[in-house]
Structure 1
Amino acid sequence: MHFTKGLRGLCMGLQDLRLFYAGQNITFKKVAQAGKTNYSISSRSVSQARSETELTTFEMNKHSQKAKISKAMKAYLQRSVEHDKFMETKITEYEIGKRHLANMMGEDPQTFTQDDINEALKYLMPSGLFEPKARPSMNHPLEDYQKMKEAEFDELGRPYHTLFYTGLPKFFSILQQISFKAQELDSLLYSTGNKPAESKLLSELVMQFRFAATSYLDELAILKDTVVVCNIHGSKLFTKEKLEEKLLEKISDKLYEHLCLSFERLIDHPYSATVGDFIMQYREPVTISLYAEDIPELMYNEKGVPYMTATGLRKKSKAEVTVYGQGSGKFTVNGKDILYFDSIQDREQIMFPLQYTGLLRSVDVEATAEGGGHSGQAGAIRYAISSALKSFVSPSMAEKMRIAGLLTRDARKRERKKPGQRRARAKYTWKKR
């Protein structure tokens, strides 16, 4: 009985083995010897089966790896599909609105451009709002909605970028490139025979003359044969918002300030013109609205020292300021030094235009102020100094001063008391009885 069960199990095993090798295209040969039936397999069939089995196993593992997608990739693919559907809907709505707007204006929808849309909105929906962003507008969805960031990892979750785990790979990649460029420039500077101490002094000279006055340009001729500085006049670094739009990454104020400082150090290098193309990739041109007639020319005294006078007003205060070039940073107010103002805030306020233009230790300032208090006098002196410094700086720097608000008079003053009220805004306590 046990022998019968064992024989039956052996036959079933042979049948399964035959079916398996039949799937692998291996032939069986029947051999009859002395009344026994045996099954033999040729050696060629065995080697062929082994190679095909290994190939099939490799393909199965490969397919299983492709089928196994990381959770990050699944989430990205889901967001990508949702974003594509959203943009498709918005573009369809934009095209329908554009067609209706063209029909209302009697134009051909096929040739109706974005400029035509803006003009049609101005005509159909006139707005007296001063801020352009608050007026009715109709732009293409690709301009109004932020682009979706591309996947930064493969299907198995491995990141493409080496700085992926910093959280801001593109931003830190720029900082890394700045560091590499600075090292290349240092190598170039030392290869010309300059010692490290001389190179440091050269960088300080470049930094000192970056915002030099027109009367100092002759002194820059000494550095012509030594310094090849990148020309950044008429341009400015990308704003934080524009840089975030370009990189598709959210940047903090502290990191943006660090990036600005890194670019300034690279620009102040004596051989920064060598990497000028890299620097200008992250700068944009500045539209200069101050014309030459708005900037008065420098005047010269009997000693040949350039100077400029200006008047400033703030509240009830009035200030007369004279700025002398080729100075050492001397500052006098009504015959006294900067200690004329007791408040540190007032001192910082009148020094800010000089710090902003880089002329703090390059010019002398003589000011006379009258009327009002110390706060009003400080504001009047600040405005007068800014107006006088326009003649000492380049037009691009003057435009930066205008954007920073240094060339705009602060017209605020104390609001008058109203009749029937305690003060300008405060009312008397109302009592019913």
Structure 2
Amino acid sequence: MEAVTQRFYTSNNATENESKPGGAVAEPEKISKAMKAYLERARKHDEFIQKETLEFNVGKRHLANMMGLNPETITQEDIDESIEYLFPSGLFDKRARPIMRTPSEVFPKHKAAEFDASGRPLHSMFYTTKPNFFQVLYDIVEATNLLKKKKLSSRNASMELGSPDEFNLTSSMWISKAELEQMLMEQLIDRDYNDFVAALERLVQYPGLNQVQDLLTKYSKRRMNQKLKQTIPPLEYNSDDRPFITIPNCMRKSARAEVTVLGKGSGKITINGQNILYFNDVQAREQVIFPLIFTGLSGSVDVVANVSGGGQSGQAGAIRWGISWALRSFVDPETVEKMRIAGLLKRDHRIRERKKPGQAGARKKFTWKKR
């Protein structure tokens, strides 16, 4: 985009300075209204990106000085770790957490000019309103026709081109509609994306996919290894024929607990030999009983927990996590998924934020006095 903009700028300046043979100054090259509007948008966009990039570089140096890092060699990974350290956030959605990235990653790309100075379209498919998308379909069809011809010629020559699964389709998947829109910088409808996928599916039916490897790699991505389903331990039975599950090493801050959930119970909760009143804080009691209420088993199972270390908040969090993991063996998979979405099965790794040098505490500052 910048190259296109610069080309038009220089051409205009050069035209203004040119002179006719008779000494008269040549008239400037005529530029269409569409191109003038584009050049104005491109200029404003470039100025905005340059300003944001300058502020990002200044902020990066300040951040490096705060964290004791070298401003010249600080990486994006160092920046992410520093932001996470300075601005800890308990928000579940990562998109809501504070970030610091280059403007090119934060702000959407600006589409380059699609016509020349006279207003003539540069792309042969400009009037389709989605030239980049239809160019992709055209490339896929061309690749399909190529493989089709190769297949026919190999039959006549009794040659083998290979099997259709050379691309390893099982470990790959097509890019999503949002990713395709971001790549092409064009808005697509569901029908467009379905046509795109259908064209690729027709392409991979032919042998010899190694000849169009670049095209397939561009519009596919490696299938992420799905997280193995957490193995839910089966219920064990004691001498009284009561089902139970024991979860050892339940952690929260510096607290450590061992939780046992027994079936065929009445909702009795025992913590270090005491009942739920072991916790003086009402919020800590609510944390302990929340998994039981969420799964509807508050009156049908008994809980026995032994906890040590930490305060009431940490101990309650450790017991809550242990109860949640133990209840997986007592409920159906749908309830387990609901528990996962509610955050009951996720470890809480938050710890006390350390004191900072030059400050009264982790966030607290010393009182500033002018004199």
Q: TM-score range by the shorter chain?
A: 0.5 to 0.7
Q: In the alignment, which residue of structure 2 is the partner of 1:264?
A: 201
Deviations, residues 261-285 of structure 1 (Å, cap 9, x unaligned): 1101111123434323321121122
Aligned pairs for 1:17-36 (under 5 A) are: none
Q: Which of the pair has more CA radius of gyration? A: 1
Cα gap change, 1:166 to 1:409, in 2 (>3 Å) = farther
Answering whether residue 192 of structure 2 is matched by residue 230 of structure 1, we say no
Q: In the alignment, which residue of structure 2 is the partner of 1:147?
A: 109
Q: Is the 8 A contact 2:154 2:161 kept in 1?
A: no
Report the alpha carbon displacement of residue 177 of structure 1 after superposing the two structures with TM. Answer: 1.2
Q: In the alignment, which residue of structure 2 is the partner of 1:114?
A: 76
Answering whether residue 153 of structure 2 is matched by residue 191 of structure 1, we say yes
Report the alpha carbon displacement of residue 182 of structure 1 after superposing the two structures with TM. Answer: 1.5
Structure 2 segments unaligned to the other structure (5+ residues):
1-19, 232-331, 339-371
Q: Distance in 2 between matches of 1:247 and 1:192?
A: 35
Q: Which amino acid in 1 is paired with 2:217?
A: M
Report the alpha carbon displacement of residue 292 of structure 1 after superposing the two structures with TM. Answer: 11
Q: Is the 8 A contact 1:228 1:273 kept in 2?
A: no
Q: 1:276 aligns with which of 196, 208, 213?
A: 213
Q: In the alignment, which residue of structure 2 is the partner of 1:411?
A: 335
Q: Distance in 2 between matches of 1:112 and 1:70?
A: 46
Cα gap change, 1:182 to 1:71, in 2 (>3 Å) = same
Cα gap change, 1:84 to 1:226, in 2 (>3 Å) = closer
Q: Distance in 1 between matches of 2:220 and 2:337?
A: 38
Q: In structure 1, the residue corresponding to 2:109 is in which secondary structure?
A: coil
Report the alpha carbon displacement of residue 159 of structure 1 after superposing the two structures with TM. Answer: 1.1
Q: Which amino acid in 1 is paired with 2:214?
A: D
Cα gap change, 1:118 to 1:227, in 2 (>3 Å) = closer
Cα gap change, 1:178 to 1:56, in 2 (>3 Å) = same
Q: Distance in 2 between matches of 1:87 and 1:269?
A: 45
Aligned pairs for 1:14-413 (under 5 A) are: 56=21, 63-64=26-27, 67-193=29-155, 227-231=163-167, 232-290=169-227, 409-411=333-335
Deviations, residues 173-212 of structure 1 (Å, cap 9, x unaligned): 1101111121222222222337xxxxxxxxxxxxxxxxxx
Report the alpha carbon displacement of residue 154 of structure 1 after superposing the two structures with TM. Answer: 0.9
Q: In structure 1, the residue corresponding to 2:151 is in which secondary structure?
A: helix
Report the alpha carbon displacement of residue 89 of structure 1 after superposing the two structures with TM. Answer: 1.5
Report the alpha carbon displacement of residue 83 of structure 1 after superposing the two structures with TM. Answer: 0.1
> Equivalent pairs: percent with the same residue?
38
Q: Distance in 1 between matches of 2:230 and 2:73?
A: 43
Q: In structure 2, the residue corresponding to 1:268 is in which secondary structure?
A: coil
Q: Distance in 2 between matches of 1:97 and 1:293?
A: 42
Q: Is the 8 A contact 1:229 1:269 kept in 2?
A: no
Deviations, residues 245-275 of structure 1 (Å, cap 9, x unaligned): 2222222221011101110111112343432
Q: Distance in 1 between matches of 2:161 and 2:211?
A: 15
Q: Distance in 2 between matches of 1:235 and 1:413?
A: 26
Report the alpha carbon displacement of residue 81 of structure 1 after superposing the two structures with TM. Answer: 0.5
Report the alpha carbon displacement of residue 233 of structure 1 after superposing the two structures with TM. Answer: 3.4
Structure 1 segments unaligned to the other structure (5+ residues):
1-54, 195-223, 295-407, 415-433
Q: Which amino acid in 1 is paired with 2:223?
A: V
Deviations, residues 122-167 of structure 1 (Å, cap 9, x unaligned): 1111111222111111111111011211111111011111011111
Q: Distance in 1 between matches of 2:46 and 2:212?
A: 39
Q: Distance in 2 between matches of 1:134 and 1:70?
A: 43
Cα gap change, 1:265 to 1:91, in 2 (>3 Å) = same
Cα gap change, 1:413 to 1:266, in 2 (>3 Å) = closer
Q: Distance in 1 between matches of 2:62 and 2:226?
A: 38
Q: In the alignment, which residue of structure 1 is the partner of 2:265?
A: none
Q: Is the 8 A contact 2:151 2:161 kept in 1?
A: no
Q: Distance in 2 between matches of 1:293 and 1:264?
A: 33
Q: Distance in 1 between matches of 2:162 and 2:103?
A: 51
Corresponding pairs, count: 217
Q: Is the 8 A contact 2:83 2:98 kept in 1?
A: yes
Report the alpha carbon displacement of residue 293 of structure 1 after superposing the two structures with TM. Answer: 11
Q: Is the 8 A contact 1:230 1:274 kept in 2?
A: no
Deviations, residues 288-330 of structure 1 (Å, cap 9, x unaligned): 1456998xxxxxxxxxxxxxxxxxxxxxxxxxxxxxxxxxxxx
Q: Which amino acid in 1 is paired with 2:130?
A: L
Q: Is the 8 A contact 1:237 1:283 kept in 2?
A: yes
Q: Is the 8 A contact 2:164 2:205 kept in 1?
A: no
Q: Distance in 1 between matches of 2:170 and 2:104?
A: 32
Q: Is the 8 A contact 1:234 1:285 kept in 2?
A: yes
Q: In structure 2, the residue corresponding to 1:159 is in which secondary structure?
A: coil
Q: Is the 8 A contact 1:182 1:266 kept in 2?
A: yes
Cα gap change, 1:81 to 1:191, in 2 (>3 Å) = same
Q: Distance in 2 between matches of 1:178 and 1:172?
A: 10
Q: Which amino acid in 2 is paired with 1:73?
A: M
Q: Distance in 2 between matches of 1:413 and 1:140?
A: 36
Deviations, residues 77-135 of structure 1 (Å, cap 9, x unaligned): 00011001111121122122222222222323222221111111111111112221111
Q: Distance in 2 between matches of 1:91 and 1:137?
A: 15
